[in-house]
Amino acid sequence: MSDAKQVIERLGKKATAAARKMRMIETHNKDDALRAAAVLFRAEMDDILVANALDMKAADENKLEASLKDRLALNAERVEAMAQGLEEIATLPDPVGAILDLVYRPSGIQVGHMRVPLGVIGIIYESRPNVTADAAALCLKSGNAAILRGGSEAIHSNRAIAKILRQALLQAGVPEDAVQLIDQTDRALVGALLAAEAYVDVIIPRGGKSLVARVSADAKVPVIKHLDGICHVYIDAAADADMATNIALNAKTHRYGVCNAMETLLIHQDAAALLPRIVGDLLDEGVEVRGCKKTQAACESLNVRTASDEDWATEYLAAVLSIRIVASLDGAMDHIAQYSSGHTEAIVTNNYDAGQRFLREVDSSSVMWNASTRFADGFEYGLGAEIGISTDRLHVRGPVGLEGLTTQKWIVMGHGEVRS
């Protein structure tokens, strides 16, 4: 057996044993652990910052990009934010053990579902050390054991954070091995983790597109993944002009680098008169606009570049927007079916039939009617926390909160019933 496989097997066995105990840990112990970790983050902030300084020094030596260095850097404020994040998760309702829809059947038995933890969750992430605390806290609150694999550039920070988390678990009477960090940077360990079907129930990659694609391609373990967010807003013929303008502006310009930002605006040809106003506002905000020929014609005096087919398939994550005029609602939905990544799409319309059809027929993880795509978010949806947004179809779709880290089992309560 390779060394990597042995390391993962050792971690996996400990995680499996911890996961079994975690199923019965009471809510107050989990919450105590989260609060104890917050206290320790504040008390031992210096240790974390010293460890982070080692990572930052190595980052300088390795000439890491400025954006990566920014993600890697910790300071008092960021550590305090991590501590507060843990305290917030402690206030959320515990999803584990909730019994849903318990009903009597003609046979006399009662049948329902109970929410239970997934088991062992592997988290693979990149340079942000705060993910170590966030992800561990979400796994803990949902009753799972976590195996964490952060980026090698953050190894010292991650070790310091994981050490504090485990100390807090111990204080609160929760199995320490519910949080384990893979504390070697050997790349073979990722491969071994992705193949560890016997020990890991699900893998969640958190990071850029290339990380997620690599994890998905290689994993034998099921993956809850988030790929692109090529989100659309469709302005229908029956849209309110002010509402359409506000939503289009907000969906594009509220933040550029986020997965729920609009990347393509579709507009019904009968609403094309709205375009000069919307495009003017976008240009004023510094957005580069690329349009189909009809869009260019409708915005003659404005600086609209030519959109290519490639634009429709691009997640810009930047101050760029493509615009296409369509002949009908069906034309808009055809475009979406062809180019959407299945993340989030919105229609703006006051027409009941158009809105109903769009909600029903568009096959994305979030489908919206008269609201900005920027609402596709665990906090906005009321999940209280979010480990990511799933663009998969099975198990969990869209923003993933604590419930997304659980599964269900059937429970039956009887009085001695037998099958006849």
- By CB under 8 A, name the binding residues for a copy of itself: 20, 23-24, 97, 103, 105, 107, 109, 111, 114, 116, 118-119, 201-202, 222, 240, 242-243, 246-247, 249-251, 254, 337, 346, 348, 357, 359-361, 363-372, 374-376, 380-382, 393-395, 397-399, 407-419
Between residues 82 and 233, which has the closer beta carbon with respect to a copy of itself? 233
Please state, in angstroms and rounded to a whole number, the distance separating the CA atoms of residues 97 and 373.
33
H or E segment at 1? none
Q: Which is nearer to a copy of itself, 116 or 162 (CB)?
A: 116
Neighbouring residues of 258: CB distance < 8 A, sequence distance ≥ 6: 229, 317, 374
In the complex, least distance from residue 243 CB atom to a copy of itself, rounded to whole angstroms: 4
Q: Side chain identity at 249, as an amino acid letter?
A: L
- Phi, psi dihedral angles at 264 (to 5 degrees): -135, 130
Determine the Cα–Cα distance for residues 369 and 347; give it in Å rounded to an integer.
5
Min dist CB 361 to a copy of itself, Å, is 5
Q: DSSP E strands: which ranges in 93-149?
A: 99-104, 110-117, 120-125, 145-149
CB contact set of 300 (below 8 Å; sequence gap of 6+): none
Q: In the structure encoding, which two tokens stand for residue 77, read together?
A: 């404020």
Q: Are 104 and 415 in contact (CB under 8 A)?
A: no
What is the smallest separation between the CB atom of 140 and a copy of itself, expressed in angstroms? 18
Tell me the closest approach of the beta carbon of residue 360 to a copy of itself, in angstroms. 6
Cβ 420 to a copy of itself shortest distance, Å? 8
Q: Which is nearer to a copy of itself, 303 or 414 (CB)?
A: 414
Contacts of residue 393, Cβ cutoff 8 Å, sequence gap at least 6? 342
- Among residues 215, 316, 220, the alpha carbon closest in space to that of 262 is found at 316
At position 366, the amino acid (one-letter code) is S
Burial class (CB in 10 A: 0-12, 13-18, 19+), 16: middle
Which whole-number Å values give the CA distances from 180 to 114, 122, 145, 277, in the listed order?
Answer: 27, 10, 8, 54
State which residue, 38 or 376, has the beta carbon closest to a copy of itself: 376
Q: Minimum distance between the CB of residue 95 and a copy of itself, rounded to whole angstroms?
A: 14
Strands 99-104 and 110-117: antiparallel
| 57's tokens | 């020094």
Residue 244 CB, shortest distance to a copy of itself, in Å, is 9
Nearest to 129 by CA among 107, 152, 147: 152
Minimum gap (Å) between residue 213 Cβ and a copy of itself: 13
DSSP assignment letter at 62:
T
Q: Shortest gap between Cβ of 107 and a copy of itself (angstroms)?
A: 6
Q: Which residues contact 148 (CB under 8 A, 6 or more apart)?
A: 123, 125, 132, 135, 136, 158, 162, 179, 180, 181, 182
CB of 417 to a copy of itself, least distance (A): 5
User: In angstroms, rounded to a whole number, what is the distance separating the alpha carbons of residues 254 and 259?
Assistant: 12
Min CB(24)–a copy of itself separation in Å: 5
Give 12 or 129: the residue with its C-beta nearer to a copy of itself: 12
Nearer to a copy of itself, 40 or 321 (CB): 321
- If we measure between CA atoms, which residue out of 297, 29, 273 comes closest to residue 173? 29
